[in-house]
Amino acid sequence: MEKLLVFDLDGTLIDSRADLAAAVNTVRAEQGLDLLTVEQVKSFIGNGIRKLVERSFADATVDLPVVLERYRTVYYRQSVVYTNIYPGVKAGLAQLQEAGMVSTVLTNKPGGVSRSILEVLGLLPFFKTVIGAEDGYALKPSSEGLRALMEEHKVDAHSCWMIGDHHTDVMAGMDADVSTCFVSYGFGHTDDLKPTEHFASFSEVVEYFLQS
């Protein structure tokens, strides 16, 4: 049975902190609010766009639906200005593909903009499926999207791995009974959970799967 690798996006494949923060600060400036640092915005990432906006405007009284819609407009227009691929990701995905492994993406970022970002960065051809928010599945830590990927690619839990930088990735993997790989170079933390493996770089991820 082929191996199914399910990657998170932000903080795992791409460093999108600067673009996310720029969009937040554009809207905050429009609202007459002080700007946030990139590190502040980084701490709000991981539970989807609505939670990101809620946390980024928690210090102010705003019309959340209006601010959320404005954030979407701003971010979708400038989502790949400062965003970079993490070192080793593009070459590593090519190696995994050549080795016959199936790579997919499961992200809490909206699916449409996720696919657009991957395409602009030249990563989309490496993924058989990309599932994001608004694609019909509950957000992580729910395992609903992960289970859908397993069903689509006809693999069982023993042949599937969830790879990400956030405790929601680990929780989704655990709920689906798949092995979990936490990458420490991203935005999040394990929240005292115990993933199957820890990696400090994407190259370590690739080496692990090529040798397993």
Residues in the chain, total? 212
Active site residue 156: no
* Nearest residue to 172 via CA among 149, 152, 203: 149
Among candidate residues 8, 19, 165, 169, the one labeled active-site is: 8
> How many Cβ atoms from other residues are within 10 Å of residue 207's Cβ?
15
Nearest Cα residue to 161 out of 93, 76, 101: 101
- In the DSSP assignment, the letter for residue 139 is P
Coil vs helix vs strand at 209: helix
Distance, in Å, from the CA atom of 200 to the CA atom of 205, rounded to the nearest integer, reads 8
Q: Which helix (H) or strand (E) holds 205?
A: helix 202-211
Catalytically active residues are 8
